[in-house]
Amino acid sequence: HRMIFMLLVALKIALGEQEHAEPDYLLCLAGCGSSLEISLGPKKHAAWISDAAWLNCVFLSERIPKFQNLLESLHKSNSAWKGWYEKESPETDASVDPELDLLHRLLLVRAMREDRLWFACDLFVRQTVGASRSRGFTELNLEESVRYTSPRTPILLFTAKHEDSIDLATEFSRSKGRSLNVHAFGEEELGEAEGQIKQAASRSSWLLLHHCDSNQPLMRLVETFLLSSEGSWDPDFRL
């Protein structure tokens, strides 16, 4: 998990001595606007903003000082924000607020354009710790990922908006002669998800859980399962 490590290092550098602020920044990177209720918060100003993005913006405005006027700005400069939101690479565009540094632009991308989060993280890390030290941040090598992980270490695939992790994983597993089971579970299917994970872990199967970013209960289930010491795990199992 080099990417996560380098992101945390870059965050430490960017925040400097402001250790008290780090938890709030990590919460914003985790997208904790999902903990808010759309009906209980400030009224959404524009139809082009999704409910999830709006709640993330509300969370940002409440937690991060530089975003305390974000909601007002979205209202007053609606067309400018809409233009930024619709750009192919919003993480490289500082036009909506030239005073924002890379870290705060990263938080903004996480809040409003989650599909560009990986690229925003890459830009932030490269410009904070240096390109040479962050080399390989966006390079995916499934061969090495499988070799240097264990059955209890999940392999996380972050893909761009128009990329498909299923095709990528299917092609790789086929080249290795491995059986790959692909599932996308809803929150109401946690029992079935747990059964599939346990079944795959007891065999030499590989399991791909698709669209996990919007299913926090499933992620908590996976974390609990991977941290448990119960059951017999096949050494070739990968999640």
Domain stops at, among 102, 129, 156: 129
209: helix, coil or strand? strand
Question: What parts of the chain have a pLDDT lower than 70?
Answer: 1-3, 17-39, 131-140, 158-164, 213-214, 229-232
* 161 shares a domain with 121: no
Rounded to 5 degrees, what angle do the CA atoms 188, 110, 17 make? Answer: 120
Burial pattern 215-235, b for ≥16 Cβ within 10 A else e, equals beebeebbeebbeeeeeebee
pLDDT in tens, 100-156: 888 888 889 988 888 888 888 888 888 877 755 555 445 567 777 777 778 887 877
The burial of 149, by beta-carbon neighbours within 10 Å (0-12 exposed, 13-18 middle, 19 or more buried), is given as middle
181: helix, coil or strand? strand
Total number of domains in the chain? 2
Residue 238 and residue 230: Cα distance in Å, rounded?
A: 17
* 104 shares a domain with 31: yes
Q: What is the pLDDT of residue 83?
A: 92
What beta strand segments (E) does 130-223 contain? 180-183, 206-209
> What six digits make up the tokens of 28?
């914003």
Q: What is the pLDDT of residue 231?
A: 61
In contact, 157 and 190? CB cutoff 8 Å? no
Q: What is the pLDDT of residue 201?
A: 81
Domain that holds residue 209: 142-227
Cα separations (Å) of 148 from 62, 118, 152, 170?
40, 22, 12, 19
Rounded to the nearest 10 degrees, how much is the dihedral formed by the CA atoms of 52, 53, 58, 60? 120
**The residue to which tokens 């402001």 are assigned:** 18
Q: What is the pLDDT of residue 92?
A: 87
Rounded to the nearest 10 degrees, how much is the dihedral formed by the CA atoms of 108, 155, 88, 104? 20
Q: What is the pLDDT of residue 82?
A: 92
Greatest Cα pair distance in the chain: 58
- Other CB atoms within a 10 A radius of the CB of residue 120 amount to 23
Residue 233 included in any domain: no
Domain stops at, among 101, 129, 157: 129
* 179 shares a domain with 67: no
* 175 shares a domain with 74: no
In contact, 59 and 33? CB cutoff 8 Å? yes
* 152 shares a domain with 118: no
Q: What is the pLDDT of residue 22?
A: 65
